[in-house]
Structure 1
Amino acid sequence: MDSAKKIEILKDLLNENSDRESIYYTALEEMGDLKKDYYDYMTTEPISLDKELLRIPDADYELCAALLTAILREDCKCCGTLIRRINNGQVSMLLNKMIELLIKM
């Protein structure tokens, strides 16, 4: 999928502001960016998403996709974490970073 289409999908996610993880999973799968090996991108063990998300300012696109996947996996294990991360702005910061990186490609 080309960058322009990915940007469109990511902007739709930002505008929708949904807390349904299935929407994010579907978007990542459609873009070909769901990282089933997301843990390989992480630097903490056990994974501390709060620490990993501090890497967003310097992240490349692949790391951003892995972080978003990790957020979704976290929500599967600990219901309610996705909405918390949406409400505190972490998800929108991540989506905006992904858009920014795609524009530069």
Structure 2
Amino acid sequence: MNKLHGTIPSTFAKGCALKNLNLNSNHLEGPLAPSITICKDLQVLDVGNNMINDSFPYWIEALSELQVLVLRSSKFHGYIKNFKGMINIFDDGQGVRYMGE
């Protein structure tokens, strides 16, 4: 926890080379900006345990390298598409499954 407060920036720089964006367990609020898709190499996006209140980010499928998406304990709502390339690691002993299963 970094104790960050406020909103996640609404714009990301062209040529963004981020591979891991971990903002878990802060006090961030507001929406996730679609401009994060500029970060084409992003593999991990963790915004869990914040106060984000937004519809599920429909644009997330544009992040073709994304392998880990953590939205836990935030207030996302709306339709979630079928993410065939992503896996889910369950804590319930069921192991690893592709999100589309």
TM-score normalised by structure 2 residue count = 0.25
Higher RCO (CA < 8 A, seq sep 6+): 1
Which has the larger share of helix?
A: 1
* TM-score in terms of structure 1 length: 0.24
* Higher-strand-fraction structure: 2
User: Which is greater in Rg?
Assistant: 2
